Structure 1
């Protein structure tokens, strides 16, 4: 990696954090020595970038620092566009509008040479939205409940068509290609359960709230699934 690219990467890493980052972490991410990181930080500081250093702690950018809009190459633009179209095609309408708004902001800062419909909206990148309405019902309400850690009363139709009412702790949403699934802690079963969004009949956000922990969280659930897959391999 050339020095200019490395300096840009350091700036990107510093901008993306609210807390400090150590020289060791920077060196590992950039695959260089810590001595090189020290030299790069010094070069950025001498060029006027307000980097704050705490001895024995790490580096961070001063909150007043701002960079002009970042430009993208063609592959990066196509990756962003694909992500936007996936959100528009596979999530709820609210997130779809937000994704389109984000794309318009990106288009607004593109240089003239990239500001063409065939660049930012290639017609050969297609994500069908045939199943959006069926696969993502209640996703807006579920996102709100996950963020606020609110307990839900869920009316659910099981695979055998039997009706079920549960009080659950919503932890995260997982997309499987045709349907969205809610990962939750079920108070009735006292265990993790997964609920397909297209089988939810109704839901109510209750006034109760829950608290996650190292042994009850989305990360813990994913770790258990990873361990299970490794044991079965």
Structure 2
């Protein structure tokens, strides 16, 4: 760990504490000597960070202190922008708007050299193939998941048959090409997967549900053994 990384971690350890933390404890957490901690505390104080405390007692940072915006290296900028562009292209309209605002905020704090990198369009995530109706359905499903709200679904099965279901929507998974709703199906009394692009309509009901250890996305994932067992019914 270089000094800059260590100072950043030290700052995070000291922020928002109600009680002071000793140099020995800090040294153990960062795997350095106490002497190094004393030097790092001094460096942080010289940089203007309001550290309270003293050697032999402990340290903390004043509770209302906020870190300035972080700077990113080239690889981190590429990763952040690529992820945001994927959300813009492959999620619903609300999340796409949030991703656009996030990109604007990232660009606002970048130095000129990294801003030029951010403006390069060498990693494209095209959105011209996204279906508007599918985006609306995806947003309705996501809201129902967040609210733990039961939904009424009309659906075209993989075999072409039309189906109607009452579901407890538990989560959405992007498999790399298609979004899939993971839900508890009241018709089958079991977990089922529903591809978003095959859903005709998704209407929230007035009923709500609760998740549990045996009724959740985590539980469903724990039951998956092989991808070949996927059931789009």
Please indicate, yes or no, whether the TM-score normalized by the shorter chain is above 0.5: yes
**Deviation for aligned residue 1:210:** 0.6
Query: Which of 1 and 2 has greater Rg?
Result: 2
Residues 64-111 of structure 1: per-residue CA shift (max 9 Å, x gap): 220111111111111111111111221123222211110101111112
| Structure 1 residues not aligned, in runs of 5+ | 18-25, 53-58
The equivalent of 1:98 in structure 2 is 98
**Deviation for aligned residue 1:41:** 7.3
Is this contact kept in 2: 1:154–1:168, CA < 8 A?
Answer: yes
Q: TM-score by structure 2 length?
A: 0.76
Shift in alpha-carbon separation, 1:36–1:133, aligned structure 2, 3 A: same
The equivalent of 1:201 in structure 2 is 200
**Deviation for aligned residue 1:10:** 4.8
| Structure 2 residues not aligned, in runs of 5+ | 17-24, 54-58
Is this contact kept in 1: 2:92–2:135, CA < 8 A?
Answer: yes
The equivalent of 1:167 in structure 2 is 166
> When the two structures are aligned, how many residues end up with a matched partner?
211
1:36 aligned to 27, 31, 37, which one? Answer: 31
Distance 1:200 1:176 in 2: 17
The equivalent of 2:123 in structure 1 is 125
The equivalent of 1:107 in structure 2 is 107
Distance 1:128 1:88 in 2: 9
- Tell me how large the CA RMSD over aligned residues is: 3.6
5 Å matches for 1:18-33? 33=28
1:169 aligned counterpart, secondary structure: strand
The equivalent of 1:23 in structure 2 is none
1:143 aligned counterpart, secondary structure: helix
**Deviation for aligned residue 1:131:** 3.2
The equivalent of 1:55 in structure 2 is none
Distance 1:14 1:129 in 2: 43
The equivalent of 1:187 in structure 2 is 186
Distance 1:66 1:122 in 2: 32
**Deviation for aligned residue 1:50:** 6.0
Q: TM-score by structure 1 length?
A: 0.76
Distance 1:149 1:162 in 2: 28
